[in-house]
Amino acid sequence: MAQVARMTGPVLWARPWLIAAGMAFGAATAVKWSGVYALAVFGLYVVVTDALARRRAGIALWPTDAVFRQGPASFLLLVGPALLTYLMSWTGWLLTAGGYDRQTDANPFIALWKYHEAILAFHVGLASPHPYASPAWQWPLLLRPTAIWVADSPAPCGTDHCIAVISSVPNPLIWYAGVAAAAYLLYRFVRAMIQRQPIAPMLTFALVGLIATYVPWLLVGNRTIFQFYTVVMVPFLVIALAVALRELAGPKHAPLHRRQAGQRTVVVYLCVVVLVSAFYYPVWTGMSVPYEFWLIHNWLPGWI
């Protein structure tokens, strides 16, 4: 029996955090189908971390044990709640007769399937030109933010030419620093892999999130997509930035002058970020501003 215990590990079912994650991914998918990407990437992440945990525990068959024994249990715990949550978001459509395409079949679930087929066919073939279209490769460079709403404003703003704008352009200092921080974490991750060093969780959380929210869009180059899709990337860029800033501030064992210099740099950066956020607040909220004031917010030609 002792030999069997070393060959395989236990199948874990008491994982409420996995159920909660599944519900969250189901809710995300109900808002936008790209939530399925996050569900799939997180599911793979769970299998990989389970495999590594079993290797550390001395399980001889740790790869197959994680995939073929723990994997199905984790799948049910994660995907089951996600599917149920997603279906619950369609409750109003399923239980009433007035929903769009609701009458395509007497069975509401078959009608829902047909509706999803129509939605998928529309989006897969969506390639209409749009002045604010931005392929995914442009997103890290922030070449073409989306003007969500623009209007000549009649409200007084101190000049004769006023404009009101709601733009998807983020705080440039946070965005570009976050992209640089993500590249730094990727470098640290690859270096740790090459040197066969333990990989700290702080190197994986943000990277896994960015893989789920960004990489799939690189595979749909023919579709009409927009920069505002990056709203789901921002939390993971901020996490990457926070990790990088902590490194910049200096570890506890670093010399005092090193930590003081690093901490001052971080404080100055954060203060400037707050000021830039205040500067961009009017073009995030549709405030009426002078046209010239709006122009100085467009740091790149594609921002207009």
Q: How many CB atoms lie within 10 A of CB 201?
A: 7
Neighbour order of strands in the sheet with 288-290: 147-152, 162-167, 288-290
Q: Considering the domain boundaries, does residue 262 fall inside one?
A: yes
pLDDT for the residue 2: 45
pTM, two decimal places: 0.86
Compute the distance between CA of residue 182 and CA of residue 176 in angstroms, rounded to an integer.
Answer: 10
Q: Taking Cα atoms as reference points, which of 138, 94, 146 lies closest to residue 116?
A: 94
pLDDT in tens, 85-143: 999 999 999 998 888 888 888 889 999 999 999 888 887 777 788 899 999 999 999 99
Q: pLDDT tens-digit profile of 25-62?
A: 999 999 999 999 999 999 999 999 999 999 888 899 89
Question: Domain total for the chain?
Answer: 1
Burial (CB count within 10 angstroms: exposed 0-12, middle 13-18, buried 19+), residue 184: middle
Residues 6+ apart with CB under 8 A from 224: 126, 127, 128, 129, 130, 133
In a domain, 293, yes or no: yes
11 in a structural domain: no
Residue 225 lies in a domain: yes
Does residue 75 lie in a domain region?
no
Q: Does residue 15 lie within any of the structural domains?
A: no
Question: Residue 265: exposed, middle, or buried by beta-carbon count in 10 A (0-12, 13-18, 19+)?
Answer: middle
CA distance 239 to 173: 15
The answer to the question of residue 10 being in a domain is no
Q: Which domain holds residue 189?
A: 136-304
Is 24 a member of any domain? no
For the chain, the 3-state helix, strand and coil shares in percent, each to the nearest 5, are: 65, 5, 30
Strand boundaries in 205-294, DSSP class E = 288-290
